[in-house]
Amino acid sequence: MRDLTVKDAINEALRQSMEADENVVLFGEDIAGGQGRDEHPGAMDAWGGPFGVTKGLCTQFGRDRVRDTTIAEAGFFGAAIGAAMVGMRPVCELMYVDFAGVCFDQMMNQAAKMRYMFGGKQNVPMVMRTVVGAGFRAGAEHSQTLYSLFTHIPGLKVVAPYSAADAKGLLISAIRDDDPVVFLEHKRLYMRAEPVPEAAEAIPLGKGRRRRAGRDVTIVAVQRMNLFAEAAAETLAAEGIDVEIIDPRTYSPLDEEMILSSVGKTGRAVIVDESHPRCSLATDIAALIAEKGFAGLKAPVLKVTGPHAPVPFSPPMEDYYIPSPERIARRVREAMDFSKRS
Partner 1 sequence: MPPESTVRWMYQCLFRIRFFEERIQELAREKAVPGYLHTYLGSEAIAVGVMAALRQDDWITSTYRSHGHAIAKNVDLCEIAAEIHGRRTGVCKGRGGSMHISDFDKGMLGAFGIVAAGPAIALGAALQERRKGSDRIAVSFFGDGAVHNGVFHEAAGLAKLWNVPLLLVCENNGYAEATATDWHLNTETVADMMAAYAMPARTVDGMDMFTVYEAASDAVQRMRQGGGPELIEFKSYRFSGQYEGDEQAYQPPAEVSKARARDPVLLARNTASQLGLGGAAIEALEAAAHRDVDDAFARAAEAAWPAPEDALEEVYVAYPKDRIAYA
Catalytic residues: 73, 142
Candidates 117, 140, 213, 290: give the one binding partner 1 (CB under 8 A).
Answer: 140
From the list ligand TPP, partner 1, none, which binds 101 (C-beta under 5 to 8 Å, kind-based)? partner 1
Distance in Å from the first CA to the final CA of the chain: 49
Beta bridge partners of 93: 129
Binding mask 12-31 for ligand TPP (x = CB under 6 A): -----------------x--
Say if residues 159 and 255 touch (Cβ distance below 8 Å): no
Q: Which is nearer to partner 1, 161 or 306 (CB)?
A: 306
DSSP 8-state assignment for residue 21: -
Told to check if 35 binds partner 1 by CB under 8 A, we report yes
Exposed/middle/buried for residue 40 (C-beta within 10 Å: 0-12, 13-18, 19+): exposed
Among 114, 302, 150, 329, residue whose Cα is nearest residue 232: 329
Say if residues 35 and 63 touch (Cβ distance below 8 Å): yes
CA 150 to chain centre: 11
Identify residues 44-103 at the interface with ligand TPP (CB under 6 A). 71, 73, 95, 99, 102
From the list ligand TPP, partner 1, none, which binds 140 (C-beta under 5 to 8 Å, kind-based)? partner 1
Q: Which stretch binds partner 1 (CB under 8 A): 1-9, 35-43, 192-200, 220-228?
A: 35-43
Number of residues that bind ligand TPP (CB under 6 A): 6
Helices 6-20 and 164-176, interaxial angle, to 10°?
30
Binding site for ligand TPP (CB under 6 A): 29, 71, 73, 95, 99, 102
Binding site for partner 1 (CB under 8 A): 29-30, 33-37, 40, 42-43, 46-47, 68, 70-75, 98-99, 101-102, 136-142, 277, 303, 305, 307-310, 312-321, 327
